[in-house]
Structure 1
């Protein structure tokens, strides 16, 4: 039987609509050109240090600052001066962790601390630090020994403090505790067991009080406040999703799904355009052989749409992606011995 031309066109239109429905990520990601991260400039860490998990810049553009596996936060002072110690936990001093240079970081991090998320409060210049073992900490603009602000919330200890962000208007600090059951060294168990004891919290610097906003969350990791300050975006590592938690408006104190991701997310950072860069430590269905490139990160729009992808070498597995003015993108990684820089994203 022959179809009329109009019928054929209608059928093609329906088929195209079905394809667009089945492949939303591919069509959305094509909105912006994919970023090739093959050529990465390296800000090499000193000695045998590794793991700049989070990357931050102060209000004056200084940095990057990196949270390092030996328990310190380092600051990059330019090509000539390189990296210097900026901050550390009270336990780092107490336990004389500067003498543990011959030991692997995993063996000492519960004693020396393992700083993860970093965010500066622009007005005060204070740096807030989510340390996996020490809890939420803060250090002044001149650095030095950080002050521990919180080690428990809702009557339960912080076992795996992870991501942090700040409302620059109110000064409120939002952070995550990835699990009430497992510590950072057991992070794989959080994923494989489906542990859902994670929490999202708020620290009020005016009262020094911590409030549990939501409990029973499956592996909450990175966290970012929206440009309009109405909600938080939380990376759920195990489920490969982003969650939206409302902090203002008619939906305040409720959460909802925001986006499905093609990989395991770590930190979430605003992209300066109303959306977010999400670092993907590993693809969801990654093949163990055959390809030397994979997804490093994905840019998500304010409505949860996938806008842009970043691809690069298999040995680069970022935990944070920070886009700066001029299009430079900085990569933090829990595994590598450097902070990576990729040229303009345009």
Structure 2
């Protein structure tokens, strides 16, 4: 990690806060509305709304209580991952079912992209972003080979079969923009909406893509695999890092050795090779350059960080794909 100057920091920034709702397991992604209510998807397939988070009148509602968005699907599993709000519509990428929309007013749902609406079918839809007019969604499919059940193998093997799509929300017409991506697991549309910034976890980098020409414009190297990317309130971006790979860790190996190692370990043994007890998040400036890293190396409040979303007062809502509860961190001292 010595090649990344911005990593040379020791702090406890991600310990400055509280944990709420320990009974909510695996809040991978967290969307925030104009009233600072939170929305998240859980490991058991539920989608939740948290009102007045961390305050005296905090309350929780299950948005999926009245329906099953996997009903009738040949895939009977659910795992909501990346979430986005646009007006009264909550969109999310489900790891098994595709791209789903919940109408918060009518408490109904719609499948925007079913997993088998494209060819080859979606294997692991992971995250999405939406244009400001709400008409177009850009989303990523992490792998053509490994499902969410085998995500650890996909990370270790590091193969590059991920895809970037766009879908017209009204017509549901879906188009492939780019393929051969290396485990894309995070996406954010940039300010002028001509580009998207993606995480390519399998190559430890962020990738800037011109969505008009479908060309890669730039790679931003990281010392470890990145996850979701979300805009900061004052410009720039937050990037979650689920684990920190020390020098010599298998995540830094070449793809051939990683594939051999993956075959030898199998899915049961791979997660034991990740240290998911720590929390880390990186702040990017508006030009996509990493500025600083923020840590909870003891895992007291944050661990296996997948996403950072900001509330209006600068509080950071920290998502994790395995943690119990949502961490609310005081981000005011980070600027």
TM-score normalised over the length of structure 1: 0.78
The gaps in structure 1 that reach 5 residues or longer are 1-21, 96-109
Quickly say closer, same or farther: Cα 1:338–1:24, change in 2 above 3 A: same
Contact 1:73 1:115 in 2 (8 A): yes
Q: Does structure 1 residue 210 correspond to structure 2 residue 150?
A: no
- State the partner residue of 2:109: 146
| Separation in structure 1 between the aligned mates of residue 235 and residue 3 of structure 2, nearest angstrom | 20
Pair 343,157 (structure 1): closer, same or farther in 2 beyond 3 Å = same
- Seen in structure 2, the aligned counterparts of structure 1 residues 210 and 34 have a Cα distance that, compared at 3 Å, is farther
Aligned position for 1:87 = 64
Deviation at 1:336, TM superposition (A): 1.1
Mark the CA change 1:40 to 1:292 in structure 2 (over 3 Å): closer, same or farther: farther
Deviation of the 1:171 alpha carbon:
2.5
1:229 alignment partner in structure 2: 193
SS at match of 1:116: strand
- Which segment is superposed worse, 77-86 or 130-139? 77-86
Moved more, 208-217 or 254-263: 254-263
Distance 2:206 2:66 in 1: 30
TM-score (norm 2): 0.80
Q: Does 1:128 align with 2:91?
A: yes
Give 1:194 deviation, angstroms. 2.2
Are the equivalent residues in 1 in contact too, given 2:160–2:202 (CA < 8 A)?
no
1:61 aligns with 2:26: no
Note if contact 2:12-2:297 (Cα within 8 Å) is conserved in structure 1.
no
- SS state at 2:76 partner: helix
Provide, for residues 33-63 of structure 1, a one-character-per-residue CA deviation record: whole Å limited to 9, x for no partner. Answer: 96611233112144xx4100000023x3242
Q: Deviations over 1:294-331 (max 9, x none)?
A: 55110112323211211104431111111222221110
Say if 1:175 and 1:93 are closer, same or farther in 2 by CA, change over 3 A: closer
2:51 to 55, 71, 77: 77
Q: Secondary structure at the match of 1:175?
A: strand
Q: Is the 8 A contact 1:295 1:309 kept in 2?
A: no
Match of 1:273 in 2: 234
The alpha-carbon deviation at position 81 of structure 1 amounts to: 4.8
Counterpart among 130, 152, 164 of residue 200 in structure 1: 164
The Cα shift of 1:333 comes to 0.8
Indicate whether 1:328 and 2:315 are aligned: yes
Q: RMSD of aligned C-alpha atoms? A: 2.9
For the pair 1:300 / 2:284, whether they are aligned, the reply is yes
Task: Write the distance in 2 (CA, Å) between the matches of 1:127 and 1:71.
Answer: 15
Residue 161 (str. 1) matches residue 122 (str. 2): no
The answer to whether the 8 Å contact 1:178/1:221 transfers is: yes
Greater Cα shift, 311-320 or 145-154: 145-154
Separation (CA, whole Å) in 1 of partners of 2:66 and 2:96:
10
Tell me, in whole angstroms, the C-alpha distance in 1 between the residues paired with 2:206 and 2:156.
18
Q: CA deviation at 1:175?
A: 0.7
Runs of 5+ unmatched residues, structure 2: 250-271
How many residue pairs get matched?
300
Could you say what secondary structure the match of 1:181 adopts?
coil
For the pair shown, the structure with the greater C-alpha radius of gyration is 1
CA distance in 1, matches of 2:11, 2:210: 31
CA distance change for structure 1 residues 29 and 227 in 2, over 3 Å: closer, same or farther?
Answer: farther
Please give the secondary structure, in 2, of the residue aligned with 1:187: helix
Q: Determine helix, strand or coil for the equivalent of 1:282.
A: coil
Q: How does 1:1-80 map to 2 (within 5 A)?
A: 25-26=4-5, 28=6, 36-46=13-23, 49-58=24-33, 60-78=34-52, 79-80=56-57
Q: Give the number of the structure with larger relative contact order, counting CA–CA contacts within 8 Å between residues 6 or more apart.
A: 2
For 1:337, the equivalent position in structure 2 comes to 324
Q: Secondary structure at the match of 1:325?
A: coil
Tell me, yes or no, if the aligned pair for 1:275 and 1:301 is still in contact at 8 Å: yes
